Amino acid sequence: MSYFWVIVALVVVLALAWRFLGSYMEAVFAGRVRFFAWAERPVYRLIGVDPEVEQPWQRYAGALIVFSGMAILFTYLIQRLQGSLPLNPQHLGAVPPALAWNTAVSFATNTNWQNYAGETTMSYFTQMAALTVQQFVSAAVGIAVAIALVRGFARRNSPTIGNFWVDIIRCTFYVLLPIAFLAGFVFVGEGAVQTLAGTVTVHDFLNGTTQVIARGPVGFMEPIKQLGTNGGGFFNANGADPFEDPSALTNFLSIALILCIPVALTYTFGKMVGNRRQGAALLAAMAIIFGTWVGFSSYAEHQPNPAVAAANVVSQHQGNMVGKEVRFGSMQTTLYNVSSTQTSTGSVSGANDSFTPMGGFGLLTGMMLGEVTPGGVGSGLYTILLFAIIAVFIGGLMIGRTPEYLGKKIQAKEVKLASFGVLVMPITVLVLTAVAVSVPAGRAGPSNAGPHAFSEILYAFTSQANNNGSAFAGLSGDTAFYNILGGVAMLLGRFAIIVPCLALGGTLAAKGAVAESAGTFRTDTPLFIGLVIGVIIIVGGLTFFPAVSLGPIAEQLSKGLF
């Protein structure tokens, strides 16, 4: 019953975010919000950008690629040099090259896949100046791409789609920074640690325990980790660690932060194209899939853990508690982990690896649908718009008319770009998983045996190619093989979708509007919502069903232990 109220509270919070954060973001990107203009202007002057001048899509994409490359370089160098940099009370040495590469790509692509334990690998300087910075910046880049694509729909005969530099600076200053800073107070107030004082050694005379406890600047990293759908935590256990996610309240706040921008962007979209019902239609498609997955996974995690049941010593009436924290309970942990896998966040408040086979299936398939429900910040919206274009194309084929979407003719070029963007992720996942299970270096990774071992590898590449970053953490990913291949998966999953999206934005912006006629296929109706959901499920199902059968489904159907 209390879980019901958690869901109600979440719906209320997200409804408010949808309406108010959504319209606020529209105003921010239209340049109507200016209270930080005094801080913006010197930055534009320093980097030599005229905020009034817009870019065509090629220049927008060029700036984005170069900037992201620079982000990878900065993040890589800080990790390599951390031994000589300040704020390193544990005297941690340089991060090894392959791991530093993987981590740099991971944070710059909004993935936050982590092949390391933060508390014994990354100095405070690295956590703050490299990783936390990328949690802001990569989120801003994702949102900027979505806004640029939506401008393509909203504009008529326009050669430009916005200015990349202005978009990311405004997004950071007006959206990410204020919300993250405010939420930081809640995290620390509830018990998250936030200090630069290094580890603390305690000795309990009651039980004779001596502990060296890792601390760090965590409480203010948490909010941007969630808000930017990044997911990379300070500690190895991520959101399960009480210093990161100290209470059920911060756990709920995390869920709300994860979902608020992806949900609100559908309102921003509706407002920008001048028809809020269009945004509501996309939100409905997202919400129906998300709700189904939450229900399915919650049910699965309320079932007993098979291995614990085999021991036959305890009642599991609270559900599967292996790898879960008492203060959250099994249901809220599941809601958190489902939210995080369907948004490209990848933070966890309990061990994904220890979910029941069907619970794990829920997490894995949530990512396989392309992370559009509601998806990562920006990436959720731009990817579902690709699905929407494919949906109007299919709808057009069925009734034999040239498809239109939001007053723009959808022609061969647009359909090709959208199909390319949608297919990059499955191809990357399946090819790399096949490579990994075919070579000894790949097969050495999983710690579990049987079908679960296959799931661990499949999960790793699904997570990285979707820029999610969550893990079936039983995989030992800190090897040259997984570090390098994972880096490739993350780059493809990010930029091989972003570039077609920006191209699409440019092509659409240049088009004029077609007048709505009796033959126009309405895209704000339940029929269209159903069509979009159908396309998402069919594309995901057709591409991934064989692979999923070998992993979680085989595990669910088998009777023994491995």
Considering only residues 86 through 105, tell me which ones interact with other proteins, judged by CB under 8 A. 90
Cis peptide before 374 (omega within 30 of 0): yes
Q: Which of 157, 212, 399, 400 binds other proteins (CB under 8 A)?
A: 212
Nearer to other proteins, 197 or 398 (CB): 197
Q: Which of 31, 69, 291, 512 binds other proteins (CB under 8 A)?
A: 69
Q: Which of 192, 406, 417, 457 binds other proteins (CB under 8 A)?
A: 192
Nearer to other proteins, 144 or 281 (CB): 144
Nearer to other proteins, 115 or 455 (CB): 455
Q: Are strands 209-213 and 404-405 parallel, antiparallel or unpaired?
A: unpaired
Size of interface with other proteins, in residues (CB under 8 A): 127
Contacts 24+ apart (CB under 8 A), 97-100: 98/479, 98/480, 98/483, 98/484, 99/478, 99/483, 100/76
Distance spanning both ends of the chain, measured CA to CA? 35
Residues 16-55 that bind other proteins (CB under 8 A): 43, 46-49
CA 388 – CA 400 distance, rounded (Å):
18
CA 29 – CA 155 distance, rounded (Å):
14
Residues 443-502 that bind other proteins (CB under 8 A): 447-448, 450, 452, 455, 472-474
Nearer to other proteins, 336 or 521 (CB): 336
Q: Which of 151, 155, 215, 225 binds other proteins (CB under 8 A)?
A: 215
Q: With binding defined as CB under 8 A, does residue 328 bind other proteins? A: yes
CA 17 and chain centroid, separation = 18
Span from 29-37, 183-191, 271-279, 421-429 in contact with other proteins (CB under 8 A): 183-191
Q: Which of 210, 399, 440, 518 binds other proteins (CB under 8 A)?
A: 210
Q: Which of 51, 56, 89, 217 binds other proteins (CB under 8 A)?
A: 217
Q: With binding defined as CB under 8 A, does residue 274 bind other proteins? A: no
CA 460 and chain centroid, separation = 14
Q: Are strands 200-204 and 209-213 parallel, antiparallel or unpaired?
A: antiparallel
Nearer to other proteins, 200 or 513 (CB): 200
The site string for other proteins over 343-372 (x = CB under 8 A, - otherwise) reads: -----xxxx-xxxxx-xx------------
Question: Which of 68, 108, 62 has its CA nearest to residue 503?
Answer: 62
To other proteins, the closest distance from the beta carbon of 550 in angstroms equals 15
Question: Which of 355, 364, 294 has its CA nearest to residue 323?
Answer: 355
Nearer to other proteins, 202 or 399 (CB): 202
Reading the block at residue 312, the tokens are: 């036959």
How many CB atoms neighbour CB 363 within 10 A? 29
